[in-house]
Structure 1
């Protein structure tokens, strides 16, 4: 279990006391200052946040800059019940304990929308943040206005728009702990009387915070470059056309992973066949190496995005058109044994192209009836390729010493002993177990949807908002996987004579129905084993690949009852439904055709909320009580060998309470707060993958499974919250001081889908602080401290692959950054 020094929850009771005190202090106060209104576009219109009947969190551009947020993962750390983290294959986005697992075939349970354009790939959250106006996190299903793949919520990102007045700035940052630096330039203003333009660019680099002792370098080294041009043409007061083009590149060397937990047996293997100085550690030390003759661990991501947005007012009606095209490509090579061995490596690429077109018509504001309607089309091409190389021969005599040596090393009857018996019987004489698994995945998708939303003002203080959306999705798959082997002549196409060797390698310890390697592609076989003596009878059916077409049609929607208790207090009740599209497993390396397809995920949601303005506008409070019922939640779980098992997890309930707000304690002192209670559990999940400990004692037929009914989902801490204070004062007539501190608390949670207690992340409290001086809106200098409590947090731990070969009970971890400091400077022209 990953331990920290954090204490039990203290933010929630502290905030409760402060909030009650503020509410009771709603006295006759004559001060003229009040909170500034926060404007959002969560309803596809610009509306004050306190008027929106949705539970949402917002971070504006100033806060994003002050926190040194480089990507969406950094922003999510400031929002309870929101988790964005990097995994071994992609990024995962979770809201209220619901999200998508590590599978490139998954679409996200949390949709990401940038300037109204859907961005469905999980890797998009890694891209650098540049010149944003705000980030809104909408919690709960948002199917009517945002469409599919928003069953858990949506990220609504708005970039800064061109200005008529000239403005320009240059910013720089330096992080000495990790040798990181960044610089950005922004220029905006009018080119003509009808044309405004904005240019923004940023370059940043870092050497990383893990020390790879084997390669004598820091990891993960990263370089991000991103540039954006936005033009806005306004030929008349009724028409505006905005064009945006963006190009970005991310290049990395190494990863922020380390082997954190090992067994004595694994230590022996690592130190004997890898690095004698190897030690497992969560202290940001690692010993990692790639396969000989292969590139070092690296990753690159490049994207181009073009968007044309047209707003046209016709007789008080508003018509909007959003047209977008996205082209992105990523590739990389990973060390998949995560340690000093030259044992497992994998390279992969993802080529993604997307075209979208949306039309929206909005009626004028009315005291009786308003409506919004639209149509949406998306065409998507996704191509994935990967190969996984496993070289057991790199372990030398450990797996070639015969049955007697294997029995001495691992014991009679162990999987290693069984394999040695096969080798002694002449099944294999060279490079036993060395194999390359090749996986090609191509998918074309088309989505059409139409929606309508009506707002009926039944009275001055009561309105009903009802929405409905129809969606039609189609996915067409072409997938091929095959195996190749190493022999005395080097790398050669896989041949049938070696088939028993590799079949034994993959299936001997499973005793179940699964795939059989063949030179022509995949072949499904059923086996019956006798042991001892070791023999097998098989029945096979040929399969040269997988082609499939999947079509879905869905009706989703919501209804909201919104009531104004007073001019400063609004309550609402929302009922909603949503879905995430089904699809095809992109990480199936074993040719398990029966498990290739997974079903769509659906949700029914209830939410009761209130938004209050208190203390003569000096404070606000938002409260949401929610209950979300999910069916067929899509999960992907590592099986401990080299494959991911993808399935639908039955039924899940996510329910709880969220409270957030801000208080202007004095004219120059602001407090922000948020806390949540979350109960996200599986109601039905009897086919979940087993933990290492459960697999070791499994006596059933087939692969080990467990029943997780009543157990929590991933990333679902029972309590979480944050508390921030921001103070500013004038040092001189021209220099202002601004200081702030943020506390982020999370109770313990599971970060893997098998709920392995050994790698549960225990509760922690992170503290960030910032001090800034600024001169008359011209320049700023600041120092930012991140994770000042130096908490060790792992958001993507998992089993070391090939558990049956001596690594069972050993785990790798993806670690958040330790304590660091950043210097920031900005000059405005």
Structure 2
């Protein structure tokens, strides 16, 4: 039988366990394994409230004084989400920039650009309580998860390291006290491949439980490569996780998790588009593999954690030990446009081999709840090593710029060692009934050592001379926060927050021409004012939450491609600010129908950014790249982007999710529709109003499921991006002399795709 037919059989014969799309709201939440035993995990509280652990304790979402969204493991599974890009439409004011290099998460418009590979992330990800500051550490985290908590704004105290814009906590599903298991299979008709997941969980002894979960994905891409005949990018993914929970007594529990992943992407995402028109994304490209081998990306990673909870009198002592490692490389070739276009050339190509390992340890003490004073105190330590050694290839055609043409193969070398020590505390005082005063503080000391050298000529002629740089950073940063929280009634809570966040400084890792003078960038700081309310209405069948915020960054770390200098520029922008409002509404009149809506508006701009490259939206009377006389007001040497919006920021983002259910005798039919969208935004570093502007859009996802009332099995039809919006994650101008014909390269998001799913649980 054919390969496609075999895949189809697999897709029909297997699949999920998680059942009824019982809620389209952001979440079903279990207690976090980093603070409480997995045995305590449940879907919702007895009253149907969503339970989270954003403040390291089990709390109702409606009691947490943080602007946050919670995406349930149910919704992640329902729409086969594998990464952060797949869920961004469910979380307003969150954006994931996708490139052929690193992906970057932005919250409220702030994130760490992908061009400098050694950046720590301004939006930190925590996997079962373990800090993952590199995106490669959590490349495909949405696999057998309980929930995903997205916390907007600085989380400097309890989450601490590098959270000036926000934090995301991914909590995987833990072992269960009773035996259960499930298999889920999905066949995607448009991507011509399958996604297979499954788990088995249950007790081994009276005190020991295990959970084993796996995911295997093999799917084609959605961009036709006319040079190879393949659909780019083809994705192959294997994930495996084993979790254990040991509870020898009521006073002690220990959980351990080990996750291994192997990911291979064949082909790229970049396609050509004109530079003098609005974006014209297409689903064809022409890219030929050259001296660096197969285009695409490979990544192998390991993530392990051990969490122990010990009752000490009325207190709980928690220890979280984490280890993570990844080794990967991305190889990029740009669309050469042939055979439909006039260009057939190997212009610029690169490969970024990376290696990273990290060990971390956190210890914290939690006081009992319910008294006048509650507190959390703790300490954190981590150490890491990182290497990135890019290959840079140039194959320029004969031109006035290069009369004889140029072929050059080079490599640069970067290494970094880092160590972090921090101490933190949070105290909650209840002076009167309903009033809570919360004070938090974290002090972090960071030391880094970095070295850069290159480019080293491997073949051909010299394109740029070698440089070297070496430096060390030792810094101490304090991040305080103060929160006033008041329960107006049992169903209405209001709060106000002042908080600070920070991200450590670092080194320019992969820019040719780097010297000591440009090697080090400073730490960035943020401060945030926020106020809001959370309300429960209609006897618990509705919730309505609103927050307003004012966030300001100083020494904002930026990195972008300057097509005039033909290189990346990494530096600290002086200041930027973001003001906005975020809200969510959920109405669930019965188990047969619910609707959830969330939205955000933001006004973000640079307050001061001297020395920035000219933007395409700036007229030459304001910034001219040809004027080198600094006494001229329009010289690029005097450029300041004060008042301009940063790229990748929309004013409006939002989503609406509607779920309905109909019972038919012993069976039920569930349907969930999610529409998410955003207003237009610049997605090129130079903010071109033509090739660098993504207009506003809305994308519709739909799931229809049929199952028996006891959910022993189900079948479902899943449609993603049914509006077939062709959108771009990022874009940049490929300039002369890199190419004879200047054009834009865009990274295309997936178009409409439809899949069938079947599943069984036992």
TM-score clears 0.5: yes
Shift of 1:801: 4.9
- Which one of 629, 650, 662 corresponds to residue 552 of structure 2? 629
Q: Is the 8 A contact 1:695 1:704 kept in 2?
A: no
Shift of 1:44: 0.8
- Which one of 87, 109, 113 corresponds to residue 75 of structure 1? 87
The 5 Å alignment of 1:306-321 reads: 306-321=304-319
Q: Is the 8 A contact 1:338 1:812 kept in 2?
A: no
The 5 Å alignment of 1:774-813 reads: 774-775=707-708, 776-802=710-736, 806-808=740-742, 810-813=743-746
Shift of 1:805: 5.2
Q: Does 1:283 align with 2:282?
A: yes
- Which one of 570, 574, 581 corresponds to residue 646 of structure 1? 570
- Which one of 675, 683, 694 corresponds to residue 599 of structure 2? 675
**CA deviations over 1:182-234 (Å, ceiling 9, x no partner):** 11110000000000000000100111000111221110001010000001111
The 5 Å alignment of 1:8-23 reads: none
Larger Rg: 1
- Partner SS, residue 230 of structure 1: strand
- Which one of 179, 183, 192 corresponds to residue 170 of structure 1? 183
Q: Does 1:40 align with 2:52?
A: yes
Q: Is the 8 A contact 1:162 1:188 kept in 2?
A: yes
Query: Number of aligned pairs?
Result: 698
Aligned to 1:335: 333
Aligned to 2:5: none
Aligned to 1:372: 376
Shift of 1:331: 1.3
The 5 Å alignment of 1:175-194 reads: 175-194=188-207
- Partner SS, residue 119 of structure 2: coil
Quote the Cα distance in structure 1 between the aligned partners of 2:60 and 2:489. Answer: 16
Aligned to 2:155: 142
Aligned to 1:480: 453
Shift of 1:34: 11
Aligned to 1:62: 74
**CA deviations over 1:239-271 (Å, ceiling 9, x no partner):** 00111111101001001221122579xxxxxxx
Shift of 1:687: 2.1
The 5 Å alignment of 1:691-730 reads: 691=615, 698-701=625-628, 704=636, 706-730=639-663
Shift of 1:384: 0.8
The 5 Å alignment of 1:349-360 reads: 349-360=353-364
Aligned to 2:250: 237
Q: Is the 8 A contact 2:272 2:335 kept in 1?
A: no
- Partner SS, residue 146 of structure 1: coil
Shift of 1:316: 1.1
The 5 Å alignment of 1:132-531 reads: 132-262=145-275, 282-291=281-290, 293-336=291-334, 340-392=344-396, 395=397, 398-399=398-399, 406=400, 416=401, 420=403, 432-484=405-457, 486=459, 491=460, 502=463, 517=465, 521-522=466-467
Quote the Cα distance in structure 2 between the aligned partners of 1:652 and 1:346. Answer: 32
Quote the Cα distance in structure 1 between the aligned partners of 2:388 and 2:276. Answer: 35
**CA deviations over 1:118-143 (Å, ceiling 9, x no partner):** 00112345325210000010000000
- Partner SS, residue 708 of structure 1: coil
Tell me which stretches of 4 or more aligned residues in structure 1 moved more than 6 Å. Answer: 693-696
Shift of 1:688: 2.0
Aligned to 1:664: 588
Q: Does 1:605 align with 2:537?
A: no
Shift of 1:711: 1.4
Quote the Cα distance in structure 1 between the aligned partners of 2:575 and 2:512. Answer: 27
- Partner SS, residue 62 of structure 1: helix
Quote the Cα distance in structure 2 between the aligned partners of 1:338 and 1:245. Answer: 42
- Partner SS, residue 719 of structure 2: strand
Shift of 1:36: 2.2
Q: Does 1:737 align with 2:737?
A: no
The 5 Å alignment of 1:766-777 reads: 766-775=699-708, 776-777=710-711
Q: Is the 8 A contact 1:619 1:663 kept in 2?
A: yes
Quote the Cα distance in structure 2 between the aligned partners of 1:338 and 1:193. Answer: 63
Shift of 1:595: 1.8
**CA deviations over 1:315-368 (Å, ceiling 9, x no partner):** 110000000111110113211466552122112211000000000100111331
Aligned to 2:681: 749
> Against the structure 1 CA distance between its residues 338 and 191, is the aligned structure 2 distance closer, same or farther, given a 3 Å change threshold?
farther
> Against the structure 1 CA distance between its residues 306 and 801, is the aligned structure 2 distance closer, same or farther, given a 3 Å change threshold?
farther
> Against the structure 1 CA distance between its residues 704 and 578, is the aligned structure 2 distance closer, same or farther, given a 3 Å change threshold?
same
Quote the Cα distance in structure 2 between the aligned partners of 1:319 and 1:730. Answer: 47
Shift of 1:483: 3.8
- Partner SS, residue 754 of structure 2: strand
Tell me, which stretches of 5 or more residues in structure 2 are unaligned?
1-44, 338-343, 630-634
| Deviates further, 589-598 or 91-100 | 589-598
Shift of 1:289: 2.0
Q: Is the 8 A contact 1:444 1:476 kept in 2?
A: yes
| Deviates further, 558-567 or 793-802 | 793-802
Quote the Cα distance in structure 2 between the aligned partners of 1:671 and 1:34. Answer: 21
**CA deviations over 1:747-787 (Å, ceiling 9, x no partner):** 01122333222211111011111110112220011111111
> Against the structure 1 CA distance between its residues 438 and 802, is the aligned structure 2 distance closer, same or farther, given a 3 Å change threshold?
farther
Q: Does 1:568 align with 2:500?
A: no
Quote the Cα distance in structure 1 between the aligned partners of 2:192 and 2:435. Answer: 56
**CA deviations over 1:601-651 (Å, ceiling 9, x no partner):** 101100001000011111001111000011011111101264210011111
| Deviates further, 196-205 or 359-368 | 359-368
Superposition CA RMSD, Å = 2.0
> Against the structure 1 CA distance between its residues 485 and 62, is the aligned structure 2 distance closer, same or farther, given a 3 Å change threshold?
closer
Quote the Cα distance in structure 2 between the aligned partners of 1:122 and 1:327. Answer: 12
| Deviates further, 698-707 or 190-199 | 698-707
**CA deviations over 1:137-170 (Å, ceiling 9, x no partner):** 0000000001121111000110001001000101
For normalisation by structure 2, the TM-score amounts to: 0.89
Shift of 1:804: 6.8
**CA deviations over 1:286-341 (Å, ceiling 9, x no partner):** 112232x4312021000012211001111110000000111110113211466552
Aligned to 1:584: 507
Q: Is the 8 A contact 2:281 2:727 kept in 1?
A: no
> Against the structure 1 CA distance between its residues 228 and 695, is the aligned structure 2 distance closer, same or farther, given a 3 Å change threshold?
farther
Comparing both structures, which one devotes a greater share of its residues to helix? Answer: 1
> Against the structure 1 CA distance between its residues 592 and 760, is the aligned structure 2 distance closer, same or farther, given a 3 Å change threshold?
farther
Shift of 1:661: 2.4
